[in-house]
Chains A and B, each alone.
Chain A
Amino acid sequence: MRKRNRFLVLLAAVGLVATACTGAEGDGASAGSGSYPRNQTLFTSGSQWGVPSNANPFRQGDYATGTVGLLYETLFLFDPLGSKYEPWLAEKDEWVDDKTYQVTLREGLKWSDDEPITAEDVAFTINLGKMKTVPYNPLYSSIESVEAVDELTTKVTFSEPHYQQWANWVYFNPIVPKHLWDGRSEKDIMQGANFDKPVGSGPYLVEAHDQDRMVWKKNENWWGKDKLDLDMKPTYIVDLVNSSNEAALGQVLQGEIDLSNNFLPGIASLVKGGYKLETYYKDAPYMLAANTTWLVPNTTKAPLNDPAFRRALAFSVDTDKIVNSVYNNIVQKADPTGLLPIWDKYIDKGVVDELGPTYDTGEAKTLLSQAGYRDTNGDGFVENKDGSPISLKLATPSGWTDWNEAGRVIADSAKAAGIQLTAETPAAEVVQDQRESGQFDLILNNDRQMDDTPWRYYEYIFGLPVLENQTTINYGRYENQQAWDLVTQLDGTKVDDQAGMSALMSQLQRIQLTEEPVIPLWYNGLWAQYSNAVWTNWPSADGGQIVPTMWRGYPQKGAIKMLAELKPAPEEQ
């Protein structure tokens, strides 16, 4: 009996340790006021995939959802749906002469620590661009001087004006407070987590952050309440990290998430199914078009280095099938130029009618044979001009099921036209590796979001020089100096010079459609589904026309105003 007792004591001790561990779970991030009242809290999801690990606005690839927009603000907003710049921190701006830009802040703006927001802050933020790793460093090299003329006015003198890039900068990049950021090293600025009670100008402040959520609390002293007459409705915004889109779907259906910016392929049937769900459009395509998915050929490899072959490939793709069967019509087929619907006015319809590829297997075959690609060994697929067999691979990241499926459709339709193309699904890491080092045949990509002008879109397609590693643009390594000169010229065109821009873009479209450096296929949606259980008056085509997403880069595209438009749902009886 004695020994048995000893054993039981040990068991009890282990048990106690276990209980202690269980108990310790409560001792998490921050002690606070318990729960966030459901009717005052907006739950969002679909922007943040990793841990919210920093509130550093300079880390444009991984700052926590809301860092720009909720915490830090930009001088202007750009509303892509209305296609206009709106003054935000700034009251007005103007080009005094061709090389001098002047921006004036609103009067009486305050940081959340009650310090005034002045031209010094604006000048300081622009000047941070001299650091090599700050994202706008390339643009900064064309700036001669930045000077705070008075309390509110900042003067920027350019050695060579990049009007388009600059117009993009003023709405995309937020202003940080000089009195707190001055003196920080480049390492602190680019690598700092900035989570320790960061001071910003925006309508929300960091409340808490945990591995799977980012919590924002309303800043009651926000300047915009008086100056913009905007009152943000949710007291708290909780942005959730979900492990998968499917997990988010369940939570939206149960009304646990109010705004889901996840890709939910079956959403079409759910919106009609009486789940209190809404999308921007009531019918197909349900979603706004956010970016263009291109088929990107590696233009350094035969036969993809031949424009005629790329054009034949473009004719072979059955995009309608992708839109219908892969996406259930929640996306739209892209224009041959790939320019988003918000840029419709820049599309030269004449050029598109003349050159734009459409799905036509017969035409693809004709083009191939005209260009000298013939099936010489009788296997049903064309061979290279030198008679060697063609075998191309289209890589899409494993687990990206919609792209994997689309890849299969593309491969099938290419095969029908006689092009031996197989779809592959390597790990995302591998695809990225191939993409940057140029070791792929074909990939899908959609790295350009809706924006103020198509300048960055063309920069993506034609950007030169081609480096050993292409990290953000021109993955296909397409080299065409003439086209890049046109893009540079476009950059030097003022954003209000519509005629000048259109003329240049028309030339670019002609080059693009004859050369097909990228093959635009469909517009990916601005995935957004909202639940009416707690909040109503969401953005919609027939209501408030605002981009409904918390994705990085979108609050400054007007999405921030959505928060002021929301209304609490009526209490259910």
Chain B
Amino acid sequence: MGRYFGRKLGIYVLTFFVAVTINWIIPRFMPGDPVRTMVSRAGLQDPAGVAAMREYYTNLFGFDLPIWQQYLNFWGELLQGNFGTSLWAYPQPVGSIILAAVPYTLGLLLPAILLSWWAGNKFGAYAARKKVLDNTVLPVWYVLTATPYMWLAILLAWALGKVAGIFPVGRSFSASLQPEWSWLFINDLISHWFLPFLSLFLVMFGGWAIGMRNLVIYELEADYANYLGALGAPQRLVRRYAFRNALLPQVTGLALQLGVIVGGQIVTEIVFDYRGLGYLVLQAINANDLFLLQGIFLFIVIGVLVANFIIDIVYVLVDPRTRVGMSA
């Protein structure tokens, strides 16, 4: 067991190192010069003032150092939990901006992914043995999962938000409210949350259900299922075995989903103007804010690794073969 997790941990540390290094490099390839952006915001023309401003920002961002020194400093700062200063929201620190946005993204995506996974698997397994369901309801989801997500999201926003006017579209909560613990606010929060959640849920639900249906049918036709049936085991028992075996690939799928939890749903936040990390990514790119972008990427990397680690543990719990492999 120790060796299994030790090896996994080693891989994670290596992945983290490489990914963070790439994160550090990529934003630096963006066109434009952050120092110049900041200086031009000050609106100075006088050469002395411009020079002084330039020097100040170059120094602040550490651009005056050799590139290897910048890289080492970046790691030094990172390990102290310091992600730098955002240009987009200058002079706020990147860390606090991301922390303020994270609850919205997680609050939207975790329920959507987990609920759709749970419900999709249940429904898929059920549909696999109900011909009627398989022929009527499931095709709806074939269409839904095949539609471009962007289009579905816009359609939902238009139909339920604009035409029916049931749900508000835009922002995470109404502009006229202050964040606080009150029914008014929580109610407002939920009503803003619902449409983006629904759009994600619908699409992901279909994916899980279709996958599960196929897997269960496959497992039910496997030799062990036939053998168990021939032994006279009740159909219920056979199905339960099939379900649990079919679940394994789905767990892997969940790991992948949770991994791209942040990066994967930028479109949702843009379509619904929901102010989470995806919205920040767009703003950071528009504002050429390489520090913010780098911070968000870092957060995504950490998210991917943590999600994978959790799934590794889950694997040990749900797949006896892993445990056998470990003790061998």
Contacts and interface: CB of A to CB of B under 8 A. Distances in A.
B40 A240 contact: no
B78 interface: no
Given A53-B90, A137-B49, A34 B170 contact: no
A3 to B, nearest CB: 7
Interface in A450-486: 463, 467, 469-473
B41 interface: yes
B275 A211 contact: yes
A427 B178 CA distance: 36
Interface string A231-258: 0000000101001000100110000100
A191 B111 CA distance: 40
Interface residues on B, range: 35 or more
A25 B276 CA distance: 11
Interface string A318-333: 0000000000000000
Given A11-B118, A26-B179, A138 B46 contact: yes
Contacts of B107: 18, 21-22, 24-25
Contacts, number: 192
B46 A61 contact: no
B182 interface: yes
Nearest to B88: A50
A213 B30 CA distance: 28
B172 A25 contact: yes
A133 B32 contact: no
B175 interface: yes
A97 interface: no
A467 B54 CA distance: 15
A541 interface: no
B92 interface: yes
Interface stretch (B8-16, B96-104, B130-138): B96-104
Contact of A34 (B91, B100, B180, B189): B180
A22 B43 contact: no
A27 B107 CA distance: 13
A472 B89 contact: no
A61 B110 CA distance: 39
Interface string B265-286: 0000010010100010011000
B210 to A, nearest CB: 21
A18 B102 CA distance: 12
Contacts of B56: 133, 187, 190-191
Given A61-B42, A429-B37, A32 B314 contact: no
Given A50-B287, A247-B273, A433-B32, A132 B42 contact: no
Contacts of A472: 40, 43-45
Contacts of B37: 429, 432
Given A43-B175, A247-B273, A467 B47 contact: yes
A247 B170 contact: yes
Nearest to B85: A191
A438 to B, nearest CB: 14
A28 interface: yes
Interface string B222-243: 0000000000000000000000
A25 B91 contact: no
Contacts of A19: 111
A53 B89 contact: yes
Contact of B179 (A4, A28, A54): A28
A210 B177 CA distance: 12
Nearest to B269: A243
B106 interface: yes
Nearest to B247: A7
Contacts of B18: none
B32 A28 contact: no
Nearest to B33: A433
Given A30-B178, A62-B90, A429 B50 contact: no
B302 to A, nearest CB: 15
A59 B48 contact: no
A7 B318 CA distance: 7
A26 B189 contact: yes
A35 B279 CA distance: 24
Contacts of A36: 176-178
Contacts of A192: 91
B89 A211 contact: yes
B152 interface: no
B186 interface: yes
Given A7-B314, A24-B103, A33 B39 contact: no
A149 interface: no
B185 A21 contact: no
A256 B52 CA distance: 43
A412 interface: no
A212 interface: yes
Interface in B77-129: 88-92, 97, 100-104, 106-107, 110-111, 114, 118
Interface of B is mostly: helix
A327 to B, nearest CB: 24
Interface string B299-323: 0000000000010001001100000
A26 B186 contact: yes
A519 B53 CA distance: 32
A26 B181 contact: yes
A212 B180 contact: no
B6 interface: no
B28 interface: no
A456 to B, nearest CB: 11
Contacts of B199: none
Nearest to B179: A28
B170 A430 contact: no
A358 B37 CA distance: 37
A132 B52 contact: yes
Given A50-B283, A135-B43, A211-B275, A34 B179 contact: no
B45 A18 contact: no
B43 A60 contact: yes
A120 interface: no
Contact of B178 (A35, A134, A470): A35
A18 B106 contact: yes
A18 B282 CA distance: 24
A452 B142 CA distance: 64
Given A25-B189, A34-B184, A133-B49, A471 B39 contact: yes
Contact of A59 (B41, B100, B103, B184): B41
B189 to A, nearest CB: 6
Nearest to A28: B179
Interface centre among A17, A51, A238, A467 (most CB of B within 10 A): A51
Nearest to B169: A250
Contacts of A228: none
Contacts of A28: 100, 178-179
A3 B45 contact: no
Contacts of B172: 25
Contacts of B175: 43, 212-213, 238, 240, 256
A22 B111 contact: yes
Nearest to A552: B43
Interface in B15-63: 30-33, 36-37, 39-50, 52-53, 56
Interface of A: 3-4, 6-7, 10-11, 14-15, 17-19, 21-22, 24-36, 38, 41, 43, 50-51, 53-54, 59-62, 132-135, 137-138, 187, 190-193, 208, 210-213, 238, 240, 243, 247, 250-251, 256, 427, 429-430, 432-433, 436, 463, 467, 469-473
10 contacts: A7-B317, A22-B103, A22-B107, A28-B179, A43-B176, A137-B48, A213-B175, A429-B30, A433-B33, A471-B39
Given A18-B111, A50-B283, A61-B41, 10 more contacts: A22-B106, A25-B179, A34-B182, A35-B178, A51-B89, A135-B49, A192-B91, A429-B288, A432-B32, A463-B45
Top 5 A-B pairs, shortest CB-CB distance: A28-B179, A429-B32, A61-B41, A18-B110, A51-B89
